[in-house]
Amino acid sequence: MTVLDLPLVIEADELAPLLGQDGLLVVDLCQEPTYNQYHIPGAVHIEYGQIIASNPPVHGLLPEVSNIERLFSVIGINNDTHVVAYDDEGGGKAARLLWTLEVMGHKRMSILNGGLYAWANDGHQLDSGAVEVKPTTFTSHYSAEPIAETDYILENLNSDDVVLIDARSADEYSGRQMMSSRGGHIPGAKHWDWQEIMDPLNNQRFKGRAELERALADRGVTPDKQVITYCQTNHRSSLTYIALKSLGYTQVKSYPGSWSDWGNREETPIEN
């Protein structure tokens, strides 16, 4: 395997021999103290807050394109770089970076399956301290294809060809736990807690393909449909987005702002 043909979901054993190769950049989205203590050799660090924007009470929005271009350039991503992202919380932050890359028109990207846990527990080398960052130039080729805005969802609520997946907890989905001015879920949305994607007995890697496909089929989510993922801020649902992509779903969008947007509006319908 070379940098030119990496899969969307990459295993630690596949990544290890490629470290240091030209055209590959590993991006760490763990907490900074964790990064300073141990990280994958050569990985550059960014904070999750650098790839999201807020307009309270709405959070998890896409930053200005110019800000993303500047960030990617500073950490060494150019338009030919293959980015491998990881975190230490199951993949939500890393997946959000991949979704952002896709919005910026960048297709060369992977998520490290299981993130830092899988890397460390599989016995791979860890480094500490600073990493030399080599700035470059990233130019956005913005694409709205991965994005589902509020109006788009409203227009398609009754479409048989569109299905929504709510990646929050069962209590959030039902409205028992409210993190916005209103509780509940988008009408017709199927509940699939993002934690059900991960295997806690396998270092938080994705569960097996057959198990994930069965979970989707049980919810009526099939590859012929347009699928929209959301959670509270499009953090957890970014992992759902990447999971669907890895299973061959081609018509997938995510909702920036998610329930922090929908649940704080007055005109949007809800179910609970």
> Residues with catalytic annotation?
231
Instruction: Measure Cα distances from 266 to 181, 183, 218, 254 in Å.
Output: 9, 12, 32, 21
Helix (H) / strand (E) containing 101: helix 92-103
SS3 (DSSP) at 60: strand
SS3 (DSSP) at 25: strand
**187, 193, 148: which is closest to 172 by C-alpha?**
193
Q: Give the pair of three-digit tokens for residue 144.
A: 């709205």
* Nearest-10 Cα torsion for 256, 54, 51, 28: -110
Q: Are 190 and 221 in contact (CB under 8 A)?
A: yes
Angle at which helix 92-103 crosses helix 236-246, to 10 degrees, equals 70
Helix (H) / strand (E) containing 50: none
Q: Give the pair of three-digit tokens for residue 98.
A: 């991949």
**58, 53, 162: which is closest to 100 by C-alpha?**
53
Beta bridge partners of 27: 44, 85
